[in-house]
Amino acid sequence: MPHSRVEKVQAFKAEEEEKLERQFLKGVKDEEVGVYCDLFSAKSNVEGQDGGVVTALLQKGFREGLFDVAIVVRRIQDYNAEAIVVEKPEDASSATGTTYLKVNMTKKFRELINQGKKRIAIVCTPCEAKAARKIQQIIGKDCEITVIGLFCFEAFNHSKLRVAVKKHLGVDLEKIGKTQVKNGKFVAWANGQEFSCNVKDFDGACEVACRFCDDFTSRLADISVGSVGSKQGYSTVIIRSPTGERLVKNNDFIKDNTDKQEIVRLSKFKRKRAKKNYLEL
């Protein structure tokens, strides 16, 4: 793709993102982190990955009537995942843990809006967060939407991930329980043992579309959550809107310092990778 065409594509995407930011977000615009009004590290008293922050946010939202339904990802058999709808705070814990697989969340989102649901939360990756905002603009204008975005560098193709896990970890993907990507490592637990390798070893298992995505921190979410920038057992929380502020307010989080530079480093790396891959088309 010629440089001029890449520049036009990037300019269009930037303009589109700015319109969504102005419509839904509030705060200071940071070139790498996006629009935000607060950034901190936290853990909750809810059991879950990286301090159970997302589960705690969902439970609070249900209890305080900020939303009536939430779309989350649930782990299913053979290290697969699916989008499900939960309607009670106690059901939010069914979505704990991470599978790092691409799951279509916006299909459920459209279905709920078409069913007449007005107050909806969605927990999703950056690409799904942007899609949710565009749907909100077009068919969900009278809805109260809460977007909880997850940090995401890339998602894996299930079939390719199975091959990569067997090759680099020596274990069957279907036997893996918990997984985590942190500090450049892909870590998995299976049969009571911990296995790890460099996440770069899994480059070939990455979904193709992810190579052209330049959003690491879910810049269009109301609140973004991820492990990068926080110590073990904590999550980095980025509040981006009044909706995000309401969701965090009076939440009994234990807070700590955040390494913003680590977030910026990965954000820059992902943006550069996306630009490079566009140029190579």
- What domains are defined for the chain? 3-152+212-279 (3.40.640), 156-206 (3.10.450.750)
pLDDT at 31: 92
Distances (CA, A) of 213 to 19, 60, 98, 133, 270: 18, 31, 20, 16, 7
What is the pLDDT at residue 96? 65
Is 71 in contact with 143 (CB distance < 8 Å)? no
The whole-model pTM stands at: 0.93
**Strand stretches in 135-277, DSSP E:** 144-150, 176-182, 185-190, 193-198, 223-226, 235-239, 254-256
pLDDT, tens only, 6-54: 677 777 788 999 999 999 999 999 999 999 999 999 999 887 777 799 9
Q: Is pLDDT above 70 for 3?
A: no
How confident is the prediction for the chain on average, in pLDDT?
92
Q: Would the CA dihedral through 259, 45, 63, 76 be positive or negative? A: positive
Q: Check residue 4 and give its pLDDT.
A: 72
| CA 256 remoteness from chain centre | 21
pLDDT band at 1 (very low <50, low <70, confident <90, very high): low
Task: Give tens-digit pLDDT for 53-109.
Answer: 999 999 999 999 999 999 999 888 888 889 999 999 989 887 766 778 989 999 999
Burial class (CB in 10 A: 0-12, 13-18, 19+), 267: buried
* Percent of the chain predicted with pLDDT > 90: 75
